[in-house]
């Protein structure tokens, strides 16, 4: 780096932080300043993020909940988007669209059973909102049951299905929603009644610390829903698209949902797009008025091109085999770290959907900070702070796995030192 460039880069970074504080979120800037984590992403590529001033590089083990499953700025995805920009734009959601039809057809081909129809959106919350709307319209019921500690988004109905702390500051709860413990089929059975329209569950709740459900949990829920006339909505915003070693995480549990919600990774980290995939009978709720649900940017034609490429990459057998191979490498590496570090008490994993279980709730935030100090970007689970989410891109190689394990070893040592001070 030329000596004249560095002061200019530092000045640009300071200005970016100042503007963010003054016009976006003063609270976030204050939070990161207290932790000496004023990192402003500049260049990014594959699993790496560089600070604007090029003084620090982070290995991304957060991936924004799977948004960067294919790494940052995946060249195959960028190529498709660039080509699309030569001849199309967002499109018009009121009109028939070839790009939207192609993406929906591909999703139908990759889904089991009669999950044949897709409604596209922009954010995961919007996609969950739509699933709940369809459930209520189709069943004529209002009750929605979700899991304590789960998370489905910050928008209306999705927020109502989440924990109280995400909605309490914004007014009273929307009626018709209740929560039960995750992986407790008896509690769910007791909660269901004649007015239950749907059960909405993440296959594995990331915000709850990645608890892996019992092998028969979803089969029991499927049977309960069938017996009581309720629908089963599976939120695969974080677990879908190969993250668990299968294209869809619910495949591990041998069930077919009535609706599947996809997001984050469907964007390729390049163009925001989400999907609510419906069983064929549910599409009937739009027959009386096919324009009753509209999303101006949902199913953008450019976004659909990106989604098709993401689905093509993520569904390839070689890609999924590689995910499972990488998962084995990580399992071996973490096993060694558990022998060395007593505060690392458990490892929750299905494919590369992983959580590091620590000895107490202080350790999750401490490990997030220590990881940053050792050039790893990790985030603890907000509803289970003893667990750190561990979500590398699915496109890394064995050498990079070894690097992550080495740096994590250093970070765990730092956590132990932090604990001595506290």
pLDDT digits (tens, 9 = 90+) for 197-243: 999 999 999 999 999 999 999 999 999 999 999 999 999 999 999 99
Whether 376 is covered by a domain: the verdict is no
Query: Long-range contact list for 322-327, CB < 8 A, 24+ apart?
Result: 322/394, 323/242, 323/243, 323/245, 323/351, 323/352, 323/394, 324/245, 324/351, 326/352, 326/392, 326/394, 326/396, 326/398, 326/401, 327/245, 327/351, 327/352, 327/354
- Residue at 48 is within a domain: no
Question: Is the sign of the CA dihedral 40, 271, 292, 158 positive or negative?
Answer: negative
* Distance of alpha carbon 350 from alpha carbon 215, whole angstroms: 12
* 73 closest CA partner among 398, 400, 395: 395
Q: For residue range 9-18, what is the model confidence (pLDDT) as tens digits?
A: 889 999 999 9
Whether 233 maps to a domain, the answer reads yes
> Does the structure show a pLDDT above 90 at 413?
yes
402 within 8 A of 333, measured Cβ to Cβ: yes
pLDDT of residue 172: 87
Q: CA-based diameter of the chain, in Å? A: 71
Q: In angstroms, rounded to a whole number, what is the distance separating the alpha carbons of residues 321 and 325?
A: 6
Pair 248, 236: CB distance under 8 Å: yes
In a domain, 261, yes or no: yes
Query: Which domain, by its residues, includes 166?
Result: 75-315
Q: What would the pLDDT profile of 180-203 be if each residue is shown by its tens digit?
A: 999 999 999 999 999 999 999 999
Mean pLDDT of the chain: 96
From residue 158, alpha-carbon distances to 145, 151, 176, 325 in Å are 12, 8, 12, 35
Strands annotated E in 250-366: 259-262, 274-279, 344-350, 353-358
Tell me how far apart the alpha carbons of residues 197 and 193 are, in angstroms, rounded to a whole number: 9
How far is it, in rounded angstroms, from Cα 201 to Cα 203?
6
Residue 150, pLDDT above cutoff 90: yes
Residue 43 in 3-state DSSP?
strand
In a domain, 148, yes or no: yes
Tell me the three state secondary structure of residue 390.
Answer: strand
Q: Is 74 exposed, middle or buried (0-12, 13-18, 19+ CB in 10 A)?
A: buried
Averaged pLDDT, 166-178: 90
For residue range 295-310, list pLDDT tens digits in order: 999 999 999 999 999 9
Q: Is the confidence at residue 4, as pLDDT, over 60? A: no
Q: How many residues are there in the chain?
A: 422
Per-residue model confidence as pLDDT tens digits over 31-67: 999 999 999 999 999 999 999 998 899 999 999 999 9
The pair of structure tokens assigned to 342 is: 């007593």
CATH of the domain at 261: 3.40.640.10
What is the number of domains present in the chain? 1
User: Stretch 111-125: mean pLDDT, rounded?
Assistant: 97
Q: Which residues of 122-156 are buried (b: 16+ CB within 10 A; e: fewer)?
A: bbbbbbbbbbbbbbbbbbebbbbbbbbbbbbbebb
Report the C-alpha gap between 282 and 145 in whole angstroms.
19
- Residue 90 has φ and ψ, to the nearest 5°, of -65, -35
Domain assignment of residue 161, yes or no: yes
Regarding beta strands 384-390 and 379-381, do their DSSP bridges make them parallel or antiparallel, or are they unpaired? antiparallel
Q: Which of 365, 360, 66 is nearest to 206 (CA)?
A: 66
Return the pLDDT at 54.
Answer: 86
Residue 288 lies in a domain: yes
The answer to the question of residue 320 being in a domain is no
The answer to whether 29 and 21 are in contact (CB under 8 A) is yes
């Amino acid at each position: 780096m030329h000596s004249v460039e560095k002061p200019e880069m530092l000045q640009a970074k300071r200005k970016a932080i100042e503007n963010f504080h003054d016009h976006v979120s003063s609270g976030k800037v204050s939070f990161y300043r207290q932790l000496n984590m004023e990192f402003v992403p500049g260049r990014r590529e594959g699993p790496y993020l560089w600070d604007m001033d090029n003084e620090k590089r982070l290995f991304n083990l957060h991936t924004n909940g799977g948004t960067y499953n294919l790494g940052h700025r995946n060249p195959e995805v960028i190529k498709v988007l660039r080509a699309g920009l030569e001849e199309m734009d967002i499109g018009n959601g009121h009109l028939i669209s070839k790009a939207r039809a192609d993406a929906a057809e591909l999703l139908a081909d990759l889904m089991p059973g009669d999950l044949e129809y897709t409604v596209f959106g922009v954010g995961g919350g919007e996609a969950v909102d739509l699933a709940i709307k369809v459930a209520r319209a189709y069943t004529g019921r209002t009750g929605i049951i979700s899991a304590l500690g789960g998370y489905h988004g910050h928008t209306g109905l999705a927020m109502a299905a989440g924990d109280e702390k995400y909605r309490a500051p914004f007014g009273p709860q929307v009626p018709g929603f209740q929560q039960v413990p995750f992986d407790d089929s008896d509690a769910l059975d007791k909660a269901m009644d004649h007015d239950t329209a749907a059960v909405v569950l993440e296959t594995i709740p990331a915000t709850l610390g990645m608890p892996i459900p019992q092998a028969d949990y979803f089969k029991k829920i499927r049977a309960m829903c069938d017996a009581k006339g309720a629908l089963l909505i599976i939120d695969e915003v974080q677990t879908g698209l190969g993250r668990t070693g299968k294209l869809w995480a619910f495949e591990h549990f041998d069930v077919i949902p009535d609706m599947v919600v996809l997001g984050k990774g469907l964007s390729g980290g390049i163009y925001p797009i989400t999907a609510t995939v419906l069983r064929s009978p549910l599409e009937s709720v739009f027959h009386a008025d096919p324009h009753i649900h509209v999303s101006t940017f949902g199913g953008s034609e450019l976004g659909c091109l990106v989604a098709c490429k993401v689905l093509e990459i993520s569904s390839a057998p070689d890609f999924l085999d590689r995910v499972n191979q990488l998962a084995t490498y990580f399992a071996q590496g973490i096993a060694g770290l558990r022998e060395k570090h007593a505060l690392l008490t458990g490892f929750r994993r299905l494919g590369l959907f992983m959580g590091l279980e620590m000895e107490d709730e202080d350790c999750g935030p401490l490990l997030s900070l220590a990881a940053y100090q050792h050039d790893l970007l990790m985030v603890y689970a907000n509803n289970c702070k003893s667990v750190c989410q561990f979500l590398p891109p699915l496109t890394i190689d064995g050498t990079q796995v070894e690097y992550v394990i080495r740096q994590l070893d250093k970070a765990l040592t730092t956590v132990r030192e932090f604990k001595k001070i506290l």
